[in-house]
Amino acid sequence: MNATQASDFFVRCIEKGRIPHAFIVHGGTFEQRYDVSLKAVKILECEKSPNVCETCYHCRAISSNNHPDISRVKPEKRNLSIDEVRTIKQDMYMKPYSGRYKIFIIETDWMQAPAANSLLKILEEPPEYGIMIILARNNKNFLPTIVSRTINIRINPEIEAPDVDKKNSEYLEKIIQSAERKNWRNFFSMCAEIAKNVSREEFENIFEIIVMTARYNLLKDTEITDKNLKGTNQESIINTVSHSQIEELLDKRTYLRFNVNSRIILERIILELISPKWRNWQTR
């Protein structure tokens, strides 16, 4: 779903009178996930809930990041530690001060087993008013037991290429071009160059560009423009097909965590990107 639909999901929870205790909002960009969480807490806490008035005490306190019942947890390197989970747990069981709910927004991409197990304990017996909203790039890095006990809301990537470092994306385009032209000498030396000069974080960024480029190309190949997609069955078909392939790519990101040589990953994903499997996906 897109970011607006993701926020609306919280409205529907309230309308149904059933509010789950834990969510994972994943996919999309950092800003989109952040916006969804901001809107969600307003939907939950506003005096006019499930509407958002933007003028009541709760809305204003949330906008100024100053609401006593809402905590943002930002783990170092986006890796949630057991200490942070313990703090959440302690805090969670103290009743809300002024809001209906006590809400924890946790920006994390992974957690080691001890932290995950401790979090599971909270998920098994959450207080009635306790809600956790985990914001993650991808929910695949979490234990299946965590994922299965939470409501997973996936924000689809935008069709437009993301606003990323221009220098990196231009360089990447050149690498993809040299692979397409089978100029292997150029291709391998440019991969080596980029892998040598960028940090792990930048590399992940480059990875995002590749994924977005792949998605963009898939959509372009169908000659169906974004406008035509809206509100048709094609939208879901295209989304399904391209997503499964994008997910294949995203799985490769897991390698990054294990410190596999970034040059080799880069070579591999680009070669896969230009292979006939990607180009002719419609005819498969």
**CB of 45 closer than 8 Å to CB of 101:** yes
Closest alpha carbon to 21 in 156, 121, 161:
121
The piece of 27-35, 48-56, 96-104, 226-234 that touches Zn ion (CB under 5 A) is 48-56
Q: Which residues pair with 130 in a beta bridge?
A: 102
State the nearest-atom distance from the C-beta of 37 to Zn ion, in Å.
16
Our finding on whether 164 is near Zn ion (CB under 5 A) is no
> Cβ 36 to Zn ion, closest distance in Å?
17
How many positions of this chain bind Zn ion (CB under 5 A)? 4
For residues 37 and 245, which CB has a smaller minimum distance to Zn ion in the complex? 37
Among positions 14, 56, 151, 161, the unique one binding Zn ion when judged by CB under 5 A: 56
Q: Is 61 in the site for Zn ion (CB under 5 A)?
A: no
Does 134 bind Zn ion (CB under 5 A)? Our answer is no
Beta strands in the chain, from DSSP E residues, in sequence order: 22-27, 70-73, 79-80, 102-107, 110-111, 130-136, 151-155
Please name the helix (run of DSSP H) or strand (run of DSSP E) that holds residue 76, with its range, or none: none
CB 132 within 8 A of CB 108: no
**Nearer of residues 46 and 111 to Zn ion, judged by Cβ:** 46
| Interaction of residue 46 with Zn ion, rule CB under 5 A | yes
Contact indicator for 187, 179 with CB cutoff of 8 Å: yes
Rule CB under 5 A: say whether 59 interacts with Zn ion. yes
Question: Which spans of this chain sit near Zn ion (rule: CB under 5 A)?
Answer: 46, 53, 56, 59
